[in-house]
Structure 1
Amino acid sequence: GKELDGEPTVTVRAVNSRKNQMCFDWGPGRLLVSNEPPSNKKEMCSCPFIYIIRKDVDVYSQILRTNSSMNPMNLSGVPSFVALQDVSGLILCVISFFCRLVRVSKNYRSVIRACMEECTSVSILSAMELIWNLCEILFIEVAPAGPLLLHLLDWVRLHVCEVDSLSADVLGSENPSKHDSFWNLVTILVLQGRLDEARQMLSKEADASPASAGICRIMGDLMRTMPILSPGNTQTLTELELKWQHWHEECERYLQDSTFATSPHLESLLKIMLGDEAALLEQKELLSNWYHFLVTRLLYSNPTVKPIDLHYYAQSSLDLFLGGESSPEPLDNILLAAFEFDIHQVIKECSIALSNWWFVAHLTDLLDHCKLLQSHNLYFGSNMREFLLLEYASGLFAHPSLWQLGVDYFDYCPELGRVSLELHIERIPLNTEQKALKVLRVCEQRQMTEQVRSICKILAMKAVRNNRLGSALSWSIRAKDAAFATLVSDRFLRDYCERGCFSDLDLIDNLGPAMMLSDRLTFLGKYREFHRMYGEKRFADAASLLLSLMTSRIAPRSFWMTLLTDALPLLEQKQVIFSAEQTYELMRCLEDLTSRRPVHGESDTEQLQDDDIETTKVEMLRLSLARNLARAIIREGSLEGS
Structure 2
Amino acid sequence: AGAAARALTGSVAGTGDGAPPSSSRVFVVRRDQDIYIHTLRKLFNESHGIFMGLQRSEEELAGKSRKAQLVQVSKNYRSVIRACMEDMHQAAVSTRDPALQGQYSTQVSILSAMELIWNLCEILFVEAAPAGPLLLRLLDWVRLHVCDVDSMVREVLSSESPSKHKLFWNVVDIFVLQGRMDEARHLLSKEASANPTSMNKYKILDDLMKKMPVPSLGNTQTLTELELKWQHWHEECQRYLQDGTFASNPHMESICKILLGDEDAILEKRELMTTWYHFLVTRLLYSHPTVKPMELRFYAQSSMDLFLGGESSPEPLDMILMAAFEFEMHQVIKECSIVLSNWWFVAHLTDLLDHCKLLQSHNLYFGSNMREFLLLEYASGLFSHHSLWQLGVDYFDHCPEYGRVYLELHVERVPLSTEQKALKVLRICEQRQMHEQVRSVCKIMAMKALRNNRLGSALSWSIRAKDAAFATLISDRFLKDYCERGCFSDLDLIDNLGPSMLLSDRLTFLGKYREFHRLYGEKRFPEAARLLLTLMTAHIAPCSFWMTLLTDALPLLEQKEVIFSAEQTYELMRCLEDLTAGNPDKQKFQDDDVETTKVEMLRLALARNLARVIVKEGTVEGS
Shift of residue 48 of structure 1?
A: 10
Q: Is the 8 A contact 2:123 2:129 kept in 1?
A: yes
Shift of residue 3 of structure 1?
A: 2.2
Shift of residue 307 of structure 1?
A: 1.0
Query: Hey, what's the Cα distance between the residues in 2 that align with 1:379 and 1:421?
Result: 22
Q: Is the 8 A contact 2:214 2:226 kept in 1?
A: yes
Within the alignment, does 1:82 sit opposite 2:65 as a pair?
A: no
Q: Which residue in 2 is equivalent to 1:432?
A: 418
Shift of residue 52 of structure 1?
A: 1.4
Q: Which residue in 2 is equivalent to 1:108?
A: 77
SS in 1 for 2:248: coil
Counterpart pick for 1:174 among 125, 143, 160:
160
Q: Is the 8 A contact 1:457 1:476 kept in 2?
A: yes
Within the alignment, does 1:530 sit opposite 2:511 as a pair?
A: no
Q: Which residue in 1 is equivalent to 2:14?
A: 9
Distance 1:336 1:237, change over 3 A: same
Query: Hey, what's the Cα distance between the residues in 2 that align with 1:480 and 1:572?
Result: 41
Which residue identity does 1:585 align to in structure 2?
Answer: E
Q: Which residue in 2 is equivalent to 1:28?
A: none
Report the more deviating stretch, 524-533 or 250-259: 250-259
Within the alignment, does 1:61 sit opposite 2:31 as a pair?
A: no
Query: Hey, what's the Cα distance between the residues in 1 that align with 2:190 and 2:87?
Result: 36
Distance 1:123 1:10, change over 3 A: closer
Q: Which residue in 2 is equivalent to 1:620?
A: 601
Shift of residue 491 of structure 1?
A: 0.9
Q: Which residue in 2 is equivalent to 1:117?
A: 86
Query: Hey, what's the Cα distance between the residues in 2 that align with 1:48 and 1:248?
Result: 66
Distance 1:508 1:199, change over 3 A: same
Q: How does 1:499-578 map to 2 (within 5 A)?
A: 499-578=485-564
Q: How does 1:375-390 map to 2 (within 5 A)?
A: 375-390=361-376
Query: Hey, what's the Cα distance between the residues in 2 that align with 1:10 and 1:117?
Result: 24
Q: Is the 8 A contact 2:70 2:352 kept in 1?
A: yes
Which residue identity does 1:73 align to in structure 2?
Answer: N
Query: Hey, what's the Cα distance between the residues in 2 that align with 1:348 and 1:482?
Result: 51
Q: Is the 8 A contact 2:39 2:84 kept in 1?
A: no
Which residue identity does 2:620 align to in structure 1?
Answer: L
Per-residue CA deviation, residues 325-379 of structure 1 (Å, 9 max, x unaligned), is: 1111111111101101111111111111111111111111111111111111111
SS in 1 for 2:6: coil
Distance 1:597 1:561, change over 3 A: closer
Counterpart pick for 1:592 among 549, 557, 578:
578
SS in 2 for 1:362: helix
The TM-score normalised by the length of structure 2 is 0.93
Within the alignment, does 1:96 sit opposite 2:65 as a pair?
A: yes
Q: How does 1:139-150 map to 2 (within 5 A)?
A: 139-150=125-136
SS in 1 for 2:582: coil
Within the alignment, does 1:73 sit opposite 2:45 as a pair?
A: yes
Shift of residue 54 of structure 1?
A: 3.0
Q: Is the 8 A contact 2:589 2:596 kept in 1?
A: no
Which residue identity does 1:277 align to in structure 2?
Answer: E
Q: How does 1:83-482 map to 2 (within 5 A)?
A: 83-87=53-57, 89-120=58-89, 121=105, 122-232=108-218, 234-482=220-468
What are structure 1's unaligned runs of at least 5 residues? Answer: 13-35, 39-45, 599-603
Q: Which residue in 2 is equivalent to 1:19?
A: none
Which residue identity does 1:204 align to in structure 2?
Answer: K
Query: Hey, what's the Cα distance between the residues in 2 that align with 1:48 and 1:491?
Result: 49
Shift of residue 308 of structure 1?
A: 1.1
Shift of residue 287 of structure 1?
A: 0.3
What are structure 2's unaligned runs of at least 5 residues? Answer: 90-104
Query: Hey, what's the Cα distance between the residues in 1 that align with 2:555 and 2:187?
Result: 107
Shift of residue 71 of structure 1?
A: 7.2
Per-residue CA deviation, residues 381-418 of structure 1 (Å, 9 max, x unaligned), is: 11111111101110111111100000111101111001
Query: Hey, what's the Cα distance between the residues in 2 that align with 1:609 and 1:275?
Result: 115
Q: How does 1:12-23 map to 2 (within 5 A)?
A: none
Query: Hey, what's the Cα distance between the residues in 2 that align with 1:609 and 1:339?
Result: 97
Q: Is the 8 A contact 1:558 1:608 kept in 2?
A: no
Query: Hey, what's the Cα distance between the residues in 1 that align with 2:422 and 2:246?
Result: 76
Query: Hey, which of these two has a bigger chunk of helix by percent?
Result: 2
Shift of residue 609 of structure 1?
A: 7.5
Which residue identity does 1:618 align to in structure 2?
Answer: V
Q: Which residue in 2 is equivalent to 1:640?
A: 621
Q: Is the 8 A contact 1:237 1:304 kept in 2?
A: yes
Q: Which residue in 1 is equivalent to 2:95?
A: none
Distance 1:171 1:49, change over 3 A: closer
Q: Which residue in 1 is equivalent to 2:101?
A: none
Distance 1:300 1:427, change over 3 A: same
Distance 1:284 1:446, change over 3 A: same
Shift of residue 59 of structure 1?
A: 5.6
Greater RCO structure (CA 8 Å; 6+ sep): 2
Q: Which residue in 1 is equivalent to 2:99?
A: none
RMSD, matched Cα: 2.2
Query: Hey, what's the Cα distance between the residues in 2 that align with 1:609 and 1:304?
Result: 109
SS in 2 for 1:375: coil
The TM-score normalised by the length of structure 1 is 0.90
Which residue identity does 2:7 align to in structure 1?
Answer: L
Residue identity over aligned pairs, in percent, reads: 75
Which residue identity does 2:450 align to in structure 1?
Answer: V
Q: Which residue in 2 is equivalent to 1:25?
A: none
Which residue identity does 1:613 align to in structure 2?
Answer: V
Q: Is the 8 A contact 2:43 2:84 kept in 1?
A: no
Shift of residue 505 of structure 1?
A: 0.6
Report the more deviating stretch, 228-237 or 346-355: 228-237
Distance 1:582 1:568, change over 3 A: same
Report the more deviating stretch, 589-598 or 631-640: 589-598
Shift of residue 10 of structure 1?
A: 6.2
Shift of residue 47 of structure 1?
A: 8.8
Shift of residue 240 of structure 1?
A: 0.8
Q: Is the 8 A contact 2:131 2:292 kept in 1?
A: yes
Q: Is the 8 A contact 1:453 1:479 kept in 2?
A: yes
Q: Is the 8 A contact 1:593 1:608 kept in 2?
A: no
Per-residue CA deviation, residues 573-597 of structure 1 (Å, 9 max, x unaligned), is: 0111111111111111111121134
